[in-house]
Amino acid sequence: MLAIKVSNLVKVFKIKRNKKIVALRGITFSLPKGHILGYLGPNGAGKTTTIRILTGFLEPDDGYAELLGYDISREFERVKHIINIMSTERTYLIENMTIERNLRLFGRLYGFRGLELKRRINELLEFFDLKEHKDKRIYELSRGLRVRSSLCRALINYPEVLFLDEPTSGIDVICAEQIRSYIRKISREGTTIFLATHNMYEAQRLSDYLAFLDRGRIIAYGRTEEILEKFSPLEKVVRIKCDKPRELAKHLLSEGYEVEEKGGEVRVRLRRGQELNPLLVEIASTARIDFISVVEPSLEEVFKHLYGRGGGHGGEELGR
C-alpha cells in the first residue's frame, strides 16, 4: 500500500498583481507504507511547500495527492489525526510550559485522556530519554532537547505518516546522530517518514527512497541504491597510504587516473567504466602499501552531479 501518492502537483504563489512564483511544477512521486523518503533540493526548490500541501496547510492549484488512500483536498478530515509534522524551525511547543504539560495538552487535542494519555506520555519520555527533563520549561531547553521534545509532540497521536522538515538543522554533531538514531527506531516501528533535509549524509543513512527537487520539478526519484548507481559520476574512491605517495600519484596520473595526493595519502577517484583490479595492480607494482580502503559513492557526489557545484535554484518567477 502507498502511504503517499502525488501526481502532477502544482502550486503558484502570487507575489504582486502581475507577478507570481511557481513553487511546484507538476511533481509526481510515491512512497510505500513503512518506508523513509529523503526529499532533497537546494533552498527554494519547493520542499517546504510540498510538506505544507501534504499536511493541509496549503491547497494545491492543480494535481492530486493522497495520504494513506485519502484525497487530501477532499478527505483531509479523515487523515489529519493519523499524520503529524516536526520542524526545527517551528516546534509548535508552548515555551512557558514544561515538556510533560505540552505533551498532555497535545495528547488531549488528539482525543487521549486518563490512563491512555499518561501511558503514551511515559512511553515517549522514555523513548527519547527525556524523563529527567520532563519538568523543564521549553525555553529552558538546549537546542538538542528542544528537537527531542518536538519529536515527542509529533508522535503523541501514533502517526502513520510523519513529516520531518530539517530535523537536525542547527544542532551539534552528537545531538544530530542521536536524532537520526531515534528516526531509525521510529521507522522500525512501522511509521512512514517523509524526510526533507539538506544533509546528504543524513539522507543516505536513513532513506529507502530519494526524490530530488529543482525549481519545483522532480529531477530524480527512486530507491536510494538505484539513485546512487544511476547518477553518481564515480564508481569508487580508493584511499592509499604508502611509502612513496608522490611517486605513486605521479605514476597513476600518467596512467589516466584522477588522483589527489595530500598529507601523505593518495586518493584515486574511479569513474564509471574504470575497474578496481587494474588499479590495485598498478599500486602494488609502484609502492609498498601501508593502508588501502575503498569508499563507495556518496549522495553528495550525486547532488553535485545533478545540480552542479554552484547548486541552488528557487521557484521560477513569472510576470509581465
pLDDT in tens, 296-311: 778 988 898 898 744 4
Strand partners, 289: 242
> In this model, does residue 235 exceed pLDDT 80?
no
Alpha-carbon distance of 221 to 235, in angstroms, equals: 20
pLDDT in tens, 131-159: 999 999 999 999 999 999 999 999 999 99
Strand partners, 40: 212
pLDDT, mean of residues 309-315: 44
pTM score of the predicted model: 0.83
CB distance 305 to 232 below 8 Å: yes
> In this model, does residue 90 exceed pLDDT 90?
no
Q: Which of 182, 209, 168, 160 is nearest to 39 (CA)?
A: 209
pLDDT cut 90: percent of the chain above it: 68
For residue 156, how many C-alpha atoms fall within 13 Å in the half-sphere facing its CB? 28
User: CB count, 10 Å around CB of 143?
Assistant: 12
Q: List alpha helices for 156-262, DSSP H.
A: 173-188, 200-206, 224-231, 245-254
> In this model, does residue 313 exceed pLDDT 80?
no
pLDDT, mean of residues 162-167: 96
- φ, ψ (nearest 5 deg) of residue 101: -65, -35
Per-residue DSSP letter, 82:
G
pLDDT, mean of residues 71-77: 94
Mean pLDDT of the residues in the chain: 91
CB distance 163 to 65 below 8 Å: no
CB distance 6 to 28 below 8 Å: yes
- φ, ψ (nearest 5 deg) of residue 87: -140, 140
CB distance 259 to 303 below 8 Å: no
pLDDT in tens, 94-133: 999 999 999 999 999 999 999 999 999 999 999 999 999 9
- φ, ψ (nearest 5 deg) of residue 40: -120, 155
Per-residue DSSP letter, 98:
B
| Domains, the chain | 2-230 (3.40.50.300), 232-299 (3.30.70)
Alpha-carbon distance of 182 to 315, in angstroms, equals: 33
Which residues fall within 8 angstroms of residue 222, CB to CB, at 6 or more apart?
209, 210, 230
Per-residue DSSP letter, 46:
S
Q: List alpha helices for 189-244, DSSP H.
A: 200-206, 224-231
Lowest mean pLDDT among 154-163, 164-173, 212-221, 270-279: 270-279
Alpha-carbon distance of 28 to 13, in angstroms, equals: 19
Q: Which residue has the higher pLDDT, 86 or 313?
A: 86
Lowest mean pLDDT among 85-99, 165-179, 268-282: 268-282
